[in-house]
Amino acid sequence: MFTVRTRSSCCRARTGTLHLAHGDVSTPAFVPLATRGAVKTLEPREVEALGYEMVLGNTFHLFLSPGPELIRDLGGLNRFMRWERPIITDSGGFQVFSMGHGGVADEIKGRGHGRTRSQSKGAILAIEEEGVRFRSYVDGSTQFLGPETSMSVQAALGSDIALVLDECTPFHVSREYTLRSMERTHRWLELCLSWHQQHGPEDQAVYGIVQGGVDHELRLESTATVAASACDGIAIGGSLGQDKPQMHEVVAWTTAELDRRAPARPRHLLGIGEIDDLIDCVALGIDTFDCALPTRLGRHGVALVPDPGSRWRLDLVKGRWRESNEPILAGCDCPACSGGFTRAYLHYLLRAGELTGLRLVTLHNLRFIARLMADLRAAIDEDRLPELTKVLTSCTG
């Protein structure tokens, strides 16, 4: 399902192709979130036109509403949302455990200013060996998510890649808790693979998930366990640290071990999408990423620009852009910039609460990242990744 085309001569970066049921995906690649069956504010043809070949559907949210049976009966998630290219679905573990641990990105959990009273009811009721019982944020009903449940939901959705259920532990828990959680994740891995072997779609790939927190020994143990399993690909999840240097260190431990134990299998880094992290983690050997960052920033009027000093961000809501006749980014081929929309106009739309403003900035952000990933792929193929990295990290807008 995965072929490596080029390996960098100076780091673990590589280019390749995922061969999936609904088409090929060039790697390294960024995967936009289609949390509830839609990339927020956009329709599928727009997402594909921006340069994307795969999106991520959220098993937890689709499980609760509209439900896997309805989506299956209507032809699967691809047909339901009118996206004809590959889909990866997460297991639901991140979202359900977020209700217990807290402090996880609001975007992934689906929080927002319009959250209703019923959506505040979500809570973990019990974590058991068989799975997790929790209260639905949709209607307050008691629900259960276990390894077999997660796999059956993802089978009904018909995604190209399904992720096994894992217990997602945050940074602040003890090593003992992290160890117990990791061992449960490993047991769930085998249950997920067994269920899928007997009942899963033949053309659906399955990724295992490496856990272990920020403990070097546990990360290596989890990497070895997942690599020894029959999974088709490997995702890196859980707490990656309290700052970027620690996160990059944890990713480096894992990809170094994967180079030893599973060099031919694809690697997905869960929930990471800051521009500098994409650049650094591609160099560490990550093949695919998913994150809410570009769409979340877009809906807050923040555009992505080549300016590391401002964390790659341009806040168009600020008053300084009220009379600016500039585009978001000169030379950008996104619909907002190539269409001639000025910072002043976007500032006006955003201040007025017009949805068109949110859409245009979201289109820009997604195109910015798609172009970045294409540039990284070309640089790896031409063995000039260090030179590109230097340019990207030293530019000033």
- What was the pLDDT predicted at 117? 36
Q: Is 125 in contact with 93 (CB distance < 8 Å)?
A: no
Query: In which band, very low, low, confident or very high, does the pLDDT at 169 lie, cut at 50, 70 and 90?
Result: confident
For residue 49, give the nearest of 305, 370, 375 by alpha carbon: 370
Per-residue pLDDT at 105 exceeds 70: no
Angle between helical axes of 355-381 and 343-352 (0-180°, round to 10): 130
The more confident residue out of 173 and 397 is 173
User: Is 280 a catalytic site residue?
Assistant: no
- What was the pLDDT predicted at 102? 55
- What was the pLDDT predicted at 101? 62
Tell me the sheet residues that pair with 89: 57, 162
Q: Is 204 in contact with 21 (CB distance < 8 Å)?
A: yes
Give the mean pLDDT of 227-248.
Answer: 96
Q: Sketch out the chain's domains with CATH numbers.
A: 2-291 (3.20.20.105), 303-389 (no CATH)
Query: In which band, very low, low, confident or very high, does the pLDDT at 99 lie, cut at 50, 70 and 90?
Result: confident
Q: Is 344 in contact with 336 (CB distance < 8 Å)?
A: no
Q: Is 295 in contact with 362 (CB distance < 8 Å)?
A: yes
User: Is 383 a catalytic site residue?
Assistant: no
- What was the pLDDT predicted at 127? 87
Tens of pLDDT along 217-237? 999 999 999 999 999 999 999
Per-residue pLDDT at 113 exceeds 70: no
Question: Catalytic residue among 166, 232, 277, 290, which?
Answer: 290
Give the mean pLDDT of 298-319.
Answer: 98
Question: Catalytic residue among 24, 90, 160, 375, which?
Answer: 90
Give the mean pLDDT of 112-129.
Answer: 64
- What was the pLDDT predicted at 112? 41
- What was the pLDDT predicted at 118? 38
Q: Amino acid identity of 368?
A: F
- What was the pLDDT predicted at 88? 98
Q: Going by C-beta distance under 8 Å and a sequence separation of 6 or more, which residues neighbour residue 202? A: none
Mean pLDDT of the chain: 94
Query: In which band, very low, low, confident or very high, does the pLDDT at 168 lie, cut at 50, 70 and 90?
Result: confident
Cis amide prior to 308 (ω within 30 degrees): no
- What was the pLDDT predicted at 116? 40
Which residues in 76-100 are b (16+ Cβ under 10 Å) and which e? Answer: bbbebbebebbbbbbbbbbbbbbbb
Task: Determine the Cα–Cα distance for residues 181 and 213; give it in Å rounded to an integer.
Answer: 10
Task: Determine the Cα–Cα distance for residues 182 and 211; give it in Å rounded to an integer.
Answer: 6
Query: In which band, very low, low, confident or very high, does the pLDDT at 170 lie, cut at 50, 70 and 90?
Result: confident
Alpha carbon 114 to chain centroid, angstroms: 23
Task: Determine the Cα–Cα distance for residues 164 and 192; give it in Å rounded to an integer.
Answer: 6
- What was the pLDDT predicted at 86? 99
Q: Is 169 in contact with 96 (CB distance < 8 Å)?
A: no
pTM: 0.94
Task: Determine the Cα–Cα distance for residues 388 and 379; give it in Å rounded to an integer.
Answer: 7
Burial of 185 (0-12, 13-18, 19+ CB in 10 A): buried
What percentage of the chain has pLDDT greater than the value 70?
94
Tens of pLDDT along 136-151? 999 999 999 999 999 9
Q: DSSP states of 373-395 as a string?
A: HHHHHHHHHTT-HHHHHHHHHH-
Backbone angles phi, psi at 195, to 5 degrees: -60, -45
